Amino acid sequence: MNITEKIRTAHDLCLKWGAELKSDPLISSQLRELSARTEASRLASLRSGVADACRRCDENEGGSCCGAGIEDRYTPELLLINLIVGIELPESRYSEDSCLFLHSRGCILPVRDILCINYLCSKLQKEIPHGNLLSLQDATGREMDAVFVLHNTIRNFIKKLTA
Q: For position 150, what pLDDT does the model report? A: 97
Domain edges within the chain:
3-157
Of 41, 65, 67, whose CA–CA distance to 124 is shortest? Answer: 65
Q: For position 24, what pLDDT does the model report? A: 95
Q: Is-contact 101 71, C-beta < 8 A?
A: yes
Q: For position 10, what pLDDT does the model report? A: 97
Q: In the chain, how many H helices and how many E strands? A: 7, 2
Q: Is-contact 129 83, C-beta < 8 A?
A: no
State the Cα angle at 144 between 142 and 147, rounded to 5°.
Answer: 115
The pTM is what? Answer: 0.91
Q: Is the dihedral of CA 66, 67, 73, 76 positive or negative?
A: positive
For 110, other C-beta atoms within 10 Å of its C-beta total 15
One-letter amino acid for residue 124 of the chain: L
Q: Along the 163 residues of the chain, how does pLDDT read in single tens digits?
A: 999 999 999 999 999 999 999 999 999 999 999 999 999 999 999 999 888 888 788 778 876 688 889 999 999 999 999 999 999 999 888 888 889 998 877 889 999 999 999 999 888 889 889 999 999 999 999 999 999 999 999 999 999 988 8
